[in-house]
Amino acid sequence: MTMLPASTGKKLGLVVDLDTCVGCHACVTACKGWNDQGYGAPLSDQNPYGADPSGVFLNRVHSYQVQPDEGPSQIINFPRSCLHCEDAPCVTVCPTGASYKRAEDGIVLVNEDACIGCGLCAWACPYGAREMDAQAGVMKKCTLCVDRIYNENLPEIDREPACVRTCPTGARHFGDFADPDSTVSRLTAERGGYALMPDLRTKPVNRYLPPRKKDVRSEASLLAPLLDIKATGFAGWLDKVLGKI
Amino acid sequence: MHPAPTIIVFTVFSGFGFGLMAFLGIGWPAPAGWAAFFWWGLGYGCAAGGLIASTAHLGNPQRAWRAFSQWQSSWLSREGIAAVATLLLCAPVALSDWLELGWPRIPGVLGAVCALATIGTTSMIYTQMRSVPRWHHWTTPALFFGFALTGGAMAAGHVWLGAGLGLGLAGLMLVAFRLGDGQFARAGQTIGSATGLDRIGDATVFELPHTGGNYLLREMIHVVGRKHGTKLRIIAVGTVLAAAVLALVPFASPVAVGLHLAGALAARWLFFAQAEHVVGLYYGRR
Average pLDDT over residues A136-140: 96
* In-domain check, residue A222: no
Bridge partners, residue B207, by sequence: A63
Q: How far apart are CA B104 and CA B92, in angstroms?
A: 9
Q: Is B217 on the interface with A (CB under 8 A)?
A: no
The whole-number average pLDDT for the span A164-193 is 97
Closest-CA distance, A211 to chain B, in angstroms, reads 8
Domain range holding B198? Answer: 133-286
Out of B65, B93, B128, pick the residue that ends a domain. B128
Chain A residue with the nearest C-alpha to that of B65: A96
Look at residue B12 in the predicted model and tell me its pLDDT: 96
| Closest-CA distance of chain B to residue A31, Å | 14
Residue numbers in A near B11 (CB within 8 A): none
Say whether A95 and B213 touch across the interface (CB within 8 A).
no
Do the Cβ atoms of B73 and A3 come within 8 Å? yes
Record: contact B76-A118, CB cut-off 8 A: yes
Q: Is B200 close to A66, i.e. CB distance below 8 A?
A: yes
Residue A19 lies in a domain: yes
pLDDT digits (tens, 9 = 90+) for A87-99: 999 999 999 999 9
Which residue, of B77, B93, B128, is where some domain finishes?
B128
Q: Is A3 on the interface with B (CB under 8 A)?
A: yes
Q: Is the pLDDT of residue A198 over 80?
A: yes
pLDDT at A235: 86
- Whether residue B267 is found in the same domain as residue B242: yes
Tell me: cis bond preceding B29? Omega within 30 of 0 counts.
yes
Residues B19 and B123 grouped into a single domain: yes
pLDDT tops 80 at residue A224:
no
Q: Does B11 touch chain A (CB under 8 A)?
A: no
Q: Is the pLDDT of residue A229 over 80?
A: no
In a domain, A225, yes or no: no
Mark which of B85, B103, B128 sits at the end of a domain.
B128
Cα-Cα-Cα-Cα dihedral of A172, B207, A90, A150, to 10°?
A: -20
Measured CA to CA, the distance from residue A101 to residue B195 in angstroms comes to 24
- The answer to whether residue A220 sits within a structural domain is no
User: How close is the nearest chain B Cα to the Cα of A193, in Å?
Assistant: 10
Same domain, B195 and B98: no
Q: In this structure, what DSSP letter does residue A136 have? A: T
CA-based nearest residue in chain A for residue B130: A200
State the pTM of this model: 0.92
Chain A within 8 Å of B81 (Cβ-Cβ)? Answer: no
Whole-number pLDDT of residue A220? 66
Least confident residue range of A59-63, A185-189, B57-61, B269-273? B57-61
Cα A2 from Cα A200, distance rounded (Å)? 19
Query: Which chain A residues are Cβ-neighbours of B278 within 8 angstroms?
Result: 126, 197, 200
Looking at the fold, whether B147 and B59 belong to one and the same domain comes out as no
Going A105 to A25 to B197 to B132, the CA torsion angle's sign is negative
DSSP state of B130: T
Nearest C-alpha neighbor of A139 from the set B7, B130, B217, B215: B215
Cross-chain residue pair B66–A116, CB shorter than 8 Å: yes
Distance CA A138, CA A115 (A): 6
Runs of H (alpha helix) within B100-228: 106-127, 139-155, 159-181, 183-187, 191-195, 215-219
How close, in Å, is residue A156 to chain B by CA atoms? 31
| Residue A229 Cα, gap to closest chain B Cα (Å) | 39
What confidence tens digit (pLDDT) does each residue in A8-58 have?
Answer: 889 999 999 999 999 999 999 999 999 998 889 999 999 999 999 999 999
Is B186 in the A-facing interface, judged by CB distances under 8 Å? no
What is the arrangement of strands in the sheet containing A74-81, beginning at the earlier edge strand? A74-81, A59-67, B202-207
The number of domains in chain B is: 2
For residue A236, the model assigns a pLDDT of 86
Q: What is the total count of domains within chain A?
A: 1
User: Given this model, what pLDDT does residue B250 score?
Assistant: 87
- For A58, the domain range is 12-209
Q: Does A110 touch chain B (CB under 8 A)?
A: no
- φ/ψ region of B97 (left if φ > 0, alpha if ψ in -120 to 50, else beta) reads alpha
Q: Which among A54, A68, A94 is the nearest to B70, CB-wise?
A: A94
Mean pLDDT of the region A111-132:
96
Three-state SS at B235: helix
Residue A152 scores a pLDDT above 80: yes
- CATH at residue A18: 3.30.70.20
B240 and B106 within one domain: no
Judged by CB atoms closer than 8 Å, whether chains meet at A114 and B66 is answered as yes
Q: Is B129 in contact with A98 (Cβ distance < 8 A)?
A: no
Gap between the Cα atoms of B76 and A115, Å rounded: 14
A245 has a pLDDT exceeding 70: yes
pLDDT 10s per residue in chain B (286 long)? 999 998 999 999 999 999 999 999 999 999 999 999 999 999 999 999 988 888 888 999 999 999 999 999 999 999 999 999 999 999 999 999 999 999 999 999 999 999 999 999 999 999 999 999 999 999 999 999 999 999 999 999 999 999 999 999 999 999 999 999 999 999 999 999 999 999 999 999 999 999 988 999 999 997 776 788 899 999 999 999 999 999 999 888 899 999 999 999 999 999 999 999 999 999 998 7
d(CA A19, CA A208) in angstroms, rounded, equals 10
CB contact under 8 A, B197 and A119: no
Indicate whether B167 and B248 sit together in one domain: yes
Give the pLDDT score at A219. 61
Tell me whether residue A202 is in a domain.
yes
**Cβ-Cβ contacts under 8 Å, B208 against chain A:** 62-63
C-alpha A233: how far from its chain's center? Answer: 64
High-pLDDT (> 70) share of chain A, %: 98
Helix axes B5-25, B106-127, angle to 10 degrees: 150
For residues B203 and B138, state if they share a domain.
yes
Q: How confident is the model at residue A204 (pLDDT cuts 50, 70, 90)?
A: very high
Instruction: Please tell me the distance from the alpha carbon of residue B284 to that of residue B280, in angstroms, as a whole number.
Output: 6
List, as ranges, residues 199-238 from A with C-beta within 8 Å of B.
Answer: 199-201, 208, 210-211
List B residues 231-270 in contact with A (Cβ-Cβ < 8 A). none
Beta-carbon separation of A118 and B219 below 8 A: no
The answer to whether residue A184 neighbours chain B at the CB level (below 8 Å) is no
Q: What distance in Å separates the CA atoms of residue A2 and residue B47, rounded to the nearest whole number?
A: 27
Q: Terminal CA-to-CA distance of chain A, rounded, Å? A: 86
Size of interface A-B (CB pairs under 8 A): 204
B114 and B155 both lie in a single domain: no
d(CA B219, CA A43): 18
Q: Do B141 and B283 sit in the same domain of this protein?
A: yes
Identify the closest residue of chain A to B215 by CA–CA distance.
Answer: A131
- A117 with B60: Cβ contact below 8 A: yes
Q: Is B204 on the interface with A (CB under 8 A)?
A: yes
Q: Do the beta carbons of residue B273 and residue B222 sit within 8 Å? A: yes
Confidence grade of residue A231 (pLDDT, cut at 50, 70, 90): confident
Residue A38 lies in a domain: yes
Residue pair B151/B16 in contact by the 8 Å Cβ criterion: yes
pLDDT band at A218 (very low <50, low <70, confident <90, very high): low
Same domain, B195 and B252: yes
Helices (H) and strands (E) in chain B, counts: 11, 1
Give, in degrees to the nearest 5, the angle at Cα A31 between A80 and A43. 100
Which among A225, A242, A106 is positioned nearest to A174, based on CA atoms? Answer: A106
Q: Does A42 touch chain B (CB under 8 A)?
A: no
